[in-house]
A and B are shown apart, each in its own frame.
Chain A
Amino acid sequence: MNPLAVQSPEESVRLYSFFTNWRTPVREGYSHDQLIDAYLTGMEHAKTEEKRLLGGIFQNNLEHAMKFSEEKFQALMKIFDVTPVGMRMSVIGISSFETLLILSRDNYQSSKIESIYGYLLDEMRKVNNEQFNWTFILMPSLGDLNEEAISLDGYSLMYANPA
């Protein structure tokens, strides 16, 4: 018989005779159950608070990564006279992002490419810290791109160049 299924007090006493010498002390303050309830409720609030905080951190990081990527897009135009044909971003984690910069075949094969890499590597070193991780990938567009492969690799954000 399942003791938890006991319904009547008499039955309870019979089954739990060893328990009859014990009472839950009546005192001011909170019962154990109340404390446990309070703890669990607090945990839920903490979880919600943690989620809210993490959401805020993620939003800040995402905005930072987007802004930084846009600045690099513009910098390639200004410094190297190279306009990327596309830019995507992948969210790797709450503080980790990767930007895919797609250049035309001619620009990617030009003599500027090593300088462009050098510039972006320097920028990557400068922006990275313990709280924020940004990486980039440069690639040429050599005809029709495999959009499915790009999306499947997580590059779900696409930059719409306003220029």
Chain B
Amino acid sequence: MPIPREFDFANYDVEVAKLVHGENKYPAWTIIVSFYASLHLVRGKLFPLKDVQGSASILVASFDHYCNLHQADSKSKHQKLIMLVAIHLPNISSKYKWLFDNSVTARYNNYNFDPSYGDTAYKYMEAIRTECNPVIGSPAPVATPSISTA
């Protein structure tokens, strides 16, 4: 069974976001699902990523691989991704951060969002989806090393 790609996860979350946002009765859940859809969208867009390790430039296949390479960095995985989005996808970095912030602080407002927050979350997720241009189910363009049999 093929390993699901980030865009496959994203597609699943986008479908859920559509359903939850449809009636817009649960804006907090629209925010949270839109955030997770966006998380997979930006991961799919960012990786494989050229990264500098010491004096060498390497191609990092996935976000998890990136986090393994940057374990010494004290940032959380979410913060690492926010920073990568800010650097490589500045057009959507504010929208992504808005979604992250409202997801993690929903409890602080007792999940008391009015429907306009659900609308904004869904709109931001759609903008991120457009920017990331996901190709669902396609193989990730990771260069695999060739083995010489000569």
Q: What is A's interface to B at a CB cutoff of 8 Å?
A: 92-93, 95-96, 100, 109, 113-115, 117-118, 121-122, 124-125, 128, 133, 135, 137-146, 149-150
Given A125-B86, A128-B83, A133 and B74 contact (CB-CB distance below 8 Å): yes
Is there an interface contact between B86 and A124, defined as CB atoms closer than 8 Å? yes
Chain A neighbourhood of B102, CB < 8 A: 139
Given A142-B112, A143-B109, A145-B109, A121 and B98 contact (CB-CB distance below 8 Å): no
Q: In the assembled complex, how far is the CB of residue B86 from the closest CB belonging to chain A, in whole angstroms?
A: 5
Chain B neighbourhood of A93, CB < 8 A: 74
Overall SS of chain B's interface: helix
Is there an interface contact between A146 and B108, defined as CB atoms closer than 8 Å? yes
Question: With A and B bound together, what is the CA distance between A141 and B102 in angstroms?
Answer: 11
Question: With A and B bound together, what is the CA distance between A15 and B123 in angstroms?
Answer: 85
Q: Does B93 contact A (CB under 8 A)?
A: yes
Residue of A nearest to B94 (CB): A117
Overall SS of chain A's interface: mixed
Q: In the assembled complex, how far is the CB of residue B128 from the closest CB belonging to chain A, in whole angstroms?
A: 13
Interface residues of B in 63-88 (CB under 8 A from A): 73-75, 79, 82-83, 86-87
Question: With A and B bound together, what is the CA distance between A118 and B73 in angstroms?
Answer: 23
Residue of B nearest to A131 (CB): B74
Q: In the assembled complex, how far is the CB of residue A145 from the closest CB belonging to chain B, in whole angstroms?
A: 6
Is there an interface contact between A149 and B107, defined as CB atoms closer than 8 Å? yes
Question: With A and B bound together, what is the CA distance between A143 and B93 in angstroms?
Answer: 27
Given A96-B74, A135-B79, A139-B102, A146 and B94 contact (CB-CB distance below 8 Å): no
Q: Does B105 contact A (CB under 8 A)?
A: yes
Checking B87, B107, B120 against A125 with a beta-carbon cut-off of 8 angstroms, the contacting residue is B87
Checking B79, B87, B108 against A139 with a beta-carbon cut-off of 8 angstroms, the contacting residue is B108
Given A118-B93, A121-B97, A143 and B74 contact (CB-CB distance below 8 Å): no
